[in-house]
Structure 1
Amino acid sequence: MPARPIDLMDMPSRINATAYLNKLKQKWLTLQDTPKVFAYNLNITKSKFLEGNNHVYTAYNPERTRLRRLPQTITCMRPAFDEDQFNFKKINPLELLLSVPYESSDISMIINKSPLTKYHTLICPDVAAGQPQCLTRVALKFSISFLLNIAEEEEKTFRIGFNSPGALASVNHLHLHLLHIMPDLYIDNAELQALSPTNIFRLSPKMPTEAICFLFKKSNDDVTFNLQLEHLYNFIVWLCDHDIPHNLFMTPKCSHPFEDTLKVFVFARQEFCYVKDLNTYNIGFCELAGYVTVGDEHLYESLTEQEVLARIKSETGNVYKQQVYEYFVK
């Protein structure tokens, strides 16, 4: 059954994220050595920052391009769930790492069979309900709370991403991606400019790309947390209402003055885009954040920071100036 709406006065669940994460990591590593669970054993032998000033990082992962499941084509922002297509009800039971009870929901943590990074896991709320790839309040709240409640400093390298329909979502069943990304990325170092008095920012006009950023502070009280969650969720609904594909990237790799703060970036897209060529790179939440996986060795060796940033800018178009920024000044 669909998850209930969240009342703004609800107490956010205190997730024991570190304990869950430790279990997840242990089981993920065990399954990497278990035959016929993953599509391949993750083995990134080459990775580097591209030359330039923006911390764009690239990793050579040929197995993903060759062995990943073919992505579905999702043609609208609110697609119907299709039981006949691949969905996470059909996974091998071994792929389920954990089930996390959260408020009235059950969050399934499922391996990504074709991982981008170590510990790459899918966050799938209420799998049995068959929810399409449209973000819900519960999915957002769990993901934000999970990252905020990871206690150990060395675990602050975990990030969460989301691709909407038309923005490289490959399965029409609600899921986000939990990834372990060690280096600081472009988006971690991007300069921000205030857009709203309620801890909402945009990337500075000095930056080569655009995004909206919502700040969630671990020190905030429950009411403040839920109000900021509502601001974020309402913006996502608005993007869907206006047929604007989008990606999210949540990163706790925060430097001064945003200590103990989670930055949630929302990237809007000018038009629908789909995976065009598995041998090159396509622009999803990872690439928008500055983490680019490629499967072709020649492309890995020749790719430039300027090319990546220009590709991102071209897929953004004028959607921010024409529509998105207006949302925050109405």
Structure 2
Amino acid sequence: MYTGTTTNLPDQQQFTSKIQKKILVEQQLTERWLELEKNSNAFRYKLNVQKQKTLDGKFNAIVQLNTERTSLRRKPQVITSIVQPFDENVFNFKKVNECEILLRCHDQLNAKSSAPHGIVTFLVNNSPLTKYHSLICPRVNENLSQIMNKECIEFAIDLMTGLDDHGYRLGYNSLGAFASVNHLHLHLIHVPEKLYLEDAEIIEMSDNVFKIEFPTFAMCMPVFHWTDREAVANKFMKIITYFCEKSIPHNIFITHGRHRDTNLVKIFIFPRSSMSDKHVASFNIAFCELVGYVPVGDVDVYENLTEDFLLDKISTAIGPIDRQAIEADILKLISNDIID
């Protein structure tokens, strides 16, 4: 397994070391995932996408039929608060089988980073949506509940800025926004096709904080270079802290895309109006569906799904959020003003 280390190197050597570490992580991740799928009992089912289509319309949502995901996945936990404490007595990622571990990264991926990430464990998602679908669990033995923190965001930026294959995307569902396990984790999925949000126009709210209105309201932070990660993470965590204090469930999506004719990493965050428990259904509105990747577990739903139906389902799931109030509060926060 891969364990990275940090050394004091000149800038060019540090940059080279960073790239080498990420290439190694990507290579080991893909090779190990395929090996486990072929030769182990790590998965509840072998990924079998029976059909795929792109819906007509502006959103160009990619819909896949995967019936096993609905029938064979682990039962989601009951969530009552977006800051619900970690519970040692229910399922958590310390309890997974050893065969589900893909690799462990020790310390930061970027040799220049000043804040170590500790041990970050990559697990297979044993009910995969896509090829290479994995769970990224920072400091898995420290009982961190599913509440985003700065360290996790910085690691996500480190990872995404270095992955050579831009089919990889990262997603996060907060408690109350269809997280199924109350243990800090990100999803790493692989979708070869372009997704709508990646190149969609974003409107600037304030310095390097943008918004998008379709398919629903979200805020976006572009990451122009991996060295910006700390500044972006600091701003981003102000939003996360605000959402947690206001009990606003949220979904996060991190992807490569274009902005101002530049290829870069974008971080989207989607606020929701109320708590939602994850339940077994043909599909739920979590981070995947919000960005136009829709895995469906029912043949009839797959065959009859339209963009209008999907957008209506997204609107209903997000609920009546007060966009103007949220925008105003966030603008005060990132301007270092105090919210009453």
Q: TM-score, normalised by structure 1?
A: 0.89
Q: Secondary structure at the match of 1:273?
A: coil
Aligned to 1:20: 25
CA contact under 8 A between 1:268 and 1:320: conserved in structure 2?
no
Q: CA deviation at 1:17?
A: 1.6
* Structure 1 outlier segments of 4+, above 3 Å: 11-15
CA contact under 8 A between 1:76 and 1:165: conserved in structure 2?
yes
Aligned to 1:217: 224
CA contact under 8 A between 1:195 and 1:328: conserved in structure 2?
no
Cα distance in 1 between the residues matched to 2:197 and 2:285: 14
Cα distance in 2 between the residues matched to 1:328 and 1:130: 29
Equivalences, count: 309
| 1:266 to 2:276 alignment | no
Paired residues for 1:91-170 under 5 Å:
91-102=96-107, 103-150=116-163, 152=164, 155-170=165-180
Unpaired runs of 5+ in structure 1?
1-10
Letter in 2 for 1:17: K
Cα distance in 2 between the residues matched to 1:200 and 1:302: 37
Cα distance in 2 between the residues matched to 1:326 and 1:169: 27
Aligned to 2:284: 282
Cα distance in 1 between the residues matched to 2:200 and 2:79: 31
Query: What's the RMSD between the two structures over aligned residues?
Result: 1.8
CA contact under 8 A between 1:196 and 1:328: conserved in structure 2?
no
Show CA shifts across 1:288-320 (max 9, x none). 111111110010000111111122122223324
CA contact under 8 A between 2:40 and 2:99: conserved in structure 1?
no
Aligned to 1:203: 212
Aligned to 1:325: 327
Aligned to 2:37: 32
Say which of 229, 244, 260 aligns to 1:257.
260
Task: Classify 1:271/1:104 alpha carbon distance in 2 versus 1 (closer, same or farther; 3 Å).
Answer: closer
Q: Secondary structure at the match of 1:33?
A: helix
CA contact under 8 A between 1:58 and 1:293: conserved in structure 2?
yes
Q: CA deviation at 1:104?
A: 4.6
Cα distance in 2 between the residues matched to 1:109 and 1:70: 21
Aligned to 1:236: 240
Task: Classify 1:255/1:144 alpha carbon distance in 2 versus 1 (closer, same or farther; 3 Å).
Answer: same
Cα distance in 2 between the residues matched to 1:71 and 1:258: 41
Cα distance in 2 between the residues matched to 1:81 and 1:75: 12
Unpaired runs of 5+ in structure 2?
1-13, 108-115, 333-340
CA contact under 8 A between 1:109 and 1:123: conserved in structure 2?
yes
Identity of matched residues, % = 38
Q: Secondary structure at the match of 1:260?
A: strand
Aligned to 1:306: 308
Task: Classify 1:263/1:256 alpha carbon distance in 2 versus 1 (closer, same or farther; 3 Å).
Answer: closer
Task: Classify 1:54/1:181 alpha carbon distance in 2 versus 1 (closer, same or farther; 3 Å).
Answer: same
Cα distance in 2 between the residues matched to 1:105 and 1:96: 17
CA contact under 8 A between 2:41 and 2:99: conserved in structure 1?
no
Q: Secondary structure at the match of 1:262?
A: strand
Cα distance in 2 between the residues matched to 1:104 and 1:232: 17
Letter in 2 for 1:174: L
Cα distance in 2 between the residues matched to 1:189 and 1:201: 13
Q: CA deviation at 1:236?
A: 0.7
Q: Which stretch has the larger CA shift, 83-92 or 254-263?
A: 254-263
Letter in 1 for 2:41: K
Aligned to 1:52: 57
Cα distance in 1 between the residues matched to 2:206 and 2:313: 28
Cα distance in 2 between the residues matched to 1:329 and 1:265: 16
Q: CA deviation at 1:14?
A: 3.5
CA contact under 8 A between 1:55 and 1:184: conserved in structure 2?
no
